[in-house]
Chain A
Amino acid sequence: QVQLQQWGAGLLTPSETLSLTCAVSGGSFRGYYWSWIRQSPGKGLEWIGEIDHSGGTYYNPSLKSRVSISLEMSRTQFLLKVTSVTAADTAVYYCARRERDAAAGWYFALWGRGTLVSVSS
């Protein structure tokens, strides 16, 4: 059974870089999109961006200037980096897998458990 396990630093100070990793166990990278989503009390659920198995990236315009997503194919992991964080980046961050249904398109089928990241001085 495919699982997503995620980890990263949980406490940052303003201006630092947020870095999270999501590991895919029991499955392959190929044929899916790999996303990051965050949830904060102020903004609710927000899609951050995603990467496909060949390394193509797609970002939410609201965060594009500060976000990068990359793959580590050899370790079946994908990474999220958000630069110059502020208190507004405090949220639970989820990794997720999008898979394709012939009729229902590319839906978010599988989610990680989430990582709480707090930004405070």
Chain B
Amino acid sequence: EIVLTQSPGTLSLSPGEGATLSCRASQTVSSNYLAWYQQKPGQAPRLLIYGASTRATDIPDRFSGGGSGTDFTLSIIRLEPEDFAVYYCQQYGRSPYAFGQGTKLEIK
């Protein structure tokens, strides 16, 4: 079973700044089948990125995904107030499809 470790646990930034979130897998993620989600309180996770770097429908180009193998990143440039939330990575290349523990992006 693949274990995903996200860092940092909490990231404190100001609107307008850029953010880089990390997701490390315990084994190679098959075909880079790695997704990123944003979750706000009381809401379901919202798909941002799949296939490590493909933006989902209606996701602004301020969000970008990168990486391969075992190391992946989510970058957000020019943070907007609505971007402050919890972010999760997930591998869907090999069952069971695991999630990371999350990175909380909070306003500094």
Contacts and interface: CB of A to CB of B under 8 A. Distances in A.
Contacts of B51: 101, 103-105, 107
Contacts of A47: 95-99
B81 interface: no
Interface stretch (B19-27, B66-74, B86-94): B86-94
A53 interface: no
A61 B96 contact: yes
Given A44-B102, A105-B31, A111-B45, A62 B50 contact: no
A94 B100 CA distance: 17
Interface residues of B, number: 26
Classify the interface of chain B: helix, strand, loop or mixed. Answer: loop
A107 B33 contact: yes
Interface string B38-49: 000001111100
B105 interface: no
How many chain A residues sit at the interface, stated as a range, is 20 to 34
Nearest to B97: A47
A108 B31 contact: no
A60 interface: yes
A104 B47 contact: no
Given A105-B51, A107-B51, A58 B45 contact: no
